[in-house]
Structures are given as C-alpha cells and as structure tokens.
Amino acid sequence: MYPCDFISVGVDVGADFSWMSILTPNHKPIGKPFKIIHDSLDSLERATSTIKKAEESNSMKARIFLESTGIYHFPLFCYLKESGFEVFVLNPLITDSNKNSGIRKVKNDKFDSIRIAKTGFSYDLKVSLIPSDIVLNLRSLVREYYDLVDSKTRYVNKLHKELRMVFPGYCKVFSSIVGKTSLKILKTYNTPENILSTPKDDVINLITSTSRMGMKYALEKYEKLIEAANLAKYYGKHLKSVFELIQVDIEFIELYISKIESILKSINDYILEYEDHKFIKQIHLLDSIIGIGLISAVTLMCEIGDFSAFSKPKQLFAYFGLDPEVRESAKFKGTQVHMSKRGSRIARRVLFTVALSSVRTNPNGQAVNPVLKDYYDKKKLSKPKMVAIGAIMHKVSNIIFAVLRDNRPFVLRTPSEHCNIYKRQMSIAA
C-alpha cells in the first residue's frame, strides 16, 4: 500500500438521501457512516461540518468521492464543491470491480459508502470530469431530442400497425405516412368510406395546398388513395375503435414533431449565442466531417465533453464502447469478439448512423465518402455486414480524434495521400 496524504470520504448517492463514510489513509473509519438528507439544509451543513472536523483532527485535507448516478449525484457534487472540498466523481464500473473484495457477500448503502471511500485510495484512480455549463445545457437538450424522437417513433410504428388493420393500402400511398399531407388526409377524412364519398376536387385541392407539389402530383396521389380506399372495402376490418386510436396517434405524433422542432431551435440558438466558445468551435469541426450533421456533431461533442481527457484514439473509441471484449483464460481464447458497449449509448447510436451514412451512395451513384466506402466494400468480402459497419465506426472515431487533436476541419484524403504527407513530414523533421 502506498502512502496517502489525505482522508477519503466515500458517498453512496441515492435519490433522496446519501450515506457518507470517512476513512483514514490506513483504512480506519472516522466515526460511523453518516446519512445526508438531500432536502434538508441542516443535514447538508452537518455533513460538511463532519468532514471539516475530520480534516482538523487528522491534519489532512479530505477528498470526496461520489459514484456517478446519472443525475442524483450532481446537486450534491455542486454543493460539496462550492463548500470548498476536493470532489471527484467515479464511474460505477470502477467501484463495481471492488464489490466482492471480501468473503462475505454484503450489499447495503453504508457498506457501499465505505467501499467507495476505499476506492479513493486506489493507485492511479481514474475519475470523471464534470463538464462545463455549456456542455451540460446542450447535453440536456440533445438527450431530450433523442427521447422525443424515440417517443415519436413508437407512435409512428403504432400508426402503421393500426392502418394495416383497417386501411391496408394506405401505407403505400405516401412515401411517409407522417408527412404533412398524409396526416392531413387522415385527420380530415378519417376512414376509407369518407375518402370515397368526398368530391374529387376537394381531395385534390387538399393534397395540392398541403404538399405544394403541383396538380400532377396531386392527381397521382389521389388515384392511389382511391385505389387503397376501394381495397379497404374488401381487405381490412372496419373497426370504429381503431379509427379513433388513429386520431389519437396523429395528435401525439404532431405534438412530438412540434416539440422536436422546438428543441432543435433551442440547440441552434444556444450554438449561435456561444459561437466564439471553444466547445462550439469543436462542434463545427466535427460538422465538417462527411456524414456528420450538426445535431450528430453536437451529440458527439456533448458525450465527449472535455476532449483534453483523451490522449490516444484508442481511449476515445473505448469511451464510446467500441473496444472489443477480451475473453482469454490460460489456453482458451474467445473467438467471437463483440464490442464492449460500456461507453456512451447515445454516442454509439450516432456513430452507427454516421457509419451508415458514410458508406451509402448518392442518387447519382457516387459514394458519400469514397475512402470509407472502398474500405467497407473490402471488409464485406471477408466479414459480415455488421462487422464491417463496426470497422467503419472505428474509422469515424479515429477521424473525430484527429480533427479535434489537430483543431482543423476535416479534409478527405486517400490512404496513399496520407502516406505521402507523413513521408514529407518525416523528411522535413530529419
């Protein structure tokens, strides 16, 4: 055991209260575990007073360690930080690794606070960095955006199912059943019978005014709509309750669309307000990468937080959870290797979308990112499609690291061009 010059305070954080334990460098407890009531100022003040007394009696500064709990640890972290203490946040994966250090299997909040305090004495302990306010604000908006998108998707899928029951052919009339024109048709006419009984000009005028695509488009959609409505008379079941549920689905879908647009506006306004901030400039750097849009760039930077915490590309894709699981024991070596998926779920989701976007082709047949498309096609010759996509995600992660490290916008180069640039740099250095 290496010598420590501080006392360790471990805090097991809960929603309404937390348990705190204080240990000396030789792991001896100072007093009993202390319960902190979050909504009691008196309890919070007694907790800080207890820590200060422990500092005075041991002539050492305290270091406070909290286990990350998503949101519950943050107010307590801020309170203790503002009270003048050194406070650190630990990844739960680190503290979980110390759970079974004893023979007895014990799990309660008091014991967990002691375990967290002991973890604070670990050599080369990795602690989480608390992002700046601008990161926290944008992160909250971005995560709400994805929650709203997922909620909207659930109702879109529900609408699909219900239409296939009572109006089967409708799903093929429009490219998207949640487009403005499609939703307007469903809201206005509700059932196939109403569509058939409505004068042709009324339906066409509605399609024309909503879609703004011209008469030819309106006539084409009208014919498909009538064909689907006639089909519904023979194939499909007219259920009044399902048509009522369809209207409910549409109300929720329109509500979510409105809220999503509002969130996107807030994100854009925030970016414009802090245009000169280093973090916003890093967002624009990521936005310069082919296949990454503004929202994807904001999401990735919000999940990365402080890029200075990463010194190697491997650290970044391990943080994203893209690193492979290692399963080896003696002569056994696992052959089916999967991503660890221990990092940011939202970041992986965005990287997956970016990888798919990077290897697709435009309507004219040209690749969005010719370099990654070529690499992807070669990978597919020997690997399954999803493994090849995983390899593209690694490449995208490396590109993100390089762009942020060099603090320069992305420039598309082939591998041979990179080699030539590297050789020139080496010759100049020599």
For position 414, what pLDDT does the model report?
Answer: 83
What is the per-residue pLDDT across 416-429, written as a single tens digit (0 to 9) for each?
A: 887 887 788 778 87
H/E element, 35 = strand 34-37
Amino acid identity at 188? T
3-state helix, strand, coil in the chain (%, to 5): 60, 10, 30
Indicate the pTM of the whole model. Answer: 0.81
Distance between CA atoms of residues 386 and 229, nearest Å: 40
β-pairing, 86-90 vs 61-67, is parallel
pLDDT over threshold 50, residue 1: no
What residue has token string 């990161």? 135
Pair of tokens at residue 321: 């959870």
Asked if pLDDT for residue 96 goes beyond 80, the answer is no
In this prediction, residues 53-81 reach a mean pLDDT of: 88
CA dihedral angle for residue 369, residue 371, residue 372, residue 375, rounded to 10 degrees: 150
Strands 332-333 and 61-67: unpaired
Q: Across the chain, which distance is largest between two alpha carbons, in Å?
A: 89
Least confident of 2-11, 129-138, 251-260, 326-335: 326-335
pLDDT digits (tens, 9 = 90+) for 344-360: 889 999 999 999 999 99
Strand partners, 36: 18
Residue range 104-163, pLDDT digits in tens: 555 667 888 888 888 888 777 777 667 788 988 999 999 999 999 999 999 999 999 999
Q: How many residues make up the chain in this entry?
A: 430
Question: Where is average pLDDT lowest: 18-27, 70-79, 126-135?
Answer: 126-135
Please check the confidence at residue 95 and state whether its pLDDT lies above 90.
Answer: no
- Please report the pLDDT score of residue 399 as a whole number: 94
The pair of structure tokens assigned to 130 is 């608390």
Name the token pair of 188: 């206005």
Q: What angle do CA 233, 238, 243 make, to 5 degrees?
A: 125
